Amino acid sequence: MAKFLVLARGTGQAYANRSPQEMQQVVQKYMAWTAGLRDAGRMLHAERLKEDGRVVRGSAGKMTVTDGPFAESKEVIGGFWLIEAASSAGKMTVTDGPFAESKEVIGGFWLIEAASYDEVQAFLKDHPHLEAGTLEVRQIWDM
């Protein structure tokens, strides 16, 4: 079974004006979705990322470190999900990548096991982050 990294991207504005009670409901949606993935035996790991970070670059033997988490494209990585999948279902827009849209933040990630991108897409069809931003899916090389 292949491993896929799912990155949650967004501008951070979708939840900016929510009350604490509304934010608690949003958090519960993410927790329920993640629990469903775990119950299906496909989640390997998931984390929310902190807002701060560093960008490290190297050139001509020199390293440059910039406070982040913004790259030149003004992106932030906030978290990830790792998911396993096997079939295609549901309707969503899929864009070939890998690319990072500008002015987006990565807020979390999931590491998932799946048979294919189509199976990952089936898992993501009801992901709560689709109401606030985008999800980037990348297959992980077996090392």
Residue ranges of domains in the chain: 2-139
138: pLDDT strictly greater than 50 = yes
Cα–Cα distance for residue pair 138/114, rounded to 1 Å: 12
76: pLDDT strictly greater than 90 = no
Q: For residue 79, with 0-12 CB atoms within 10 Å meaning exposed, 13-18 middle and 19 or more buried, which class applies?
A: buried
pTM for the model stands at 0.70
Res. 25 pLDDT band, cuts 50 70 90: very high
The token duo for 14 is 């979708």
CATH number of 2-139, picked from 3.90.180.10, 3.30.70.1060, 3.30.70.260, 3.40.190.10: 3.30.70.1060
Residue linked to tokens 């932030």: 76
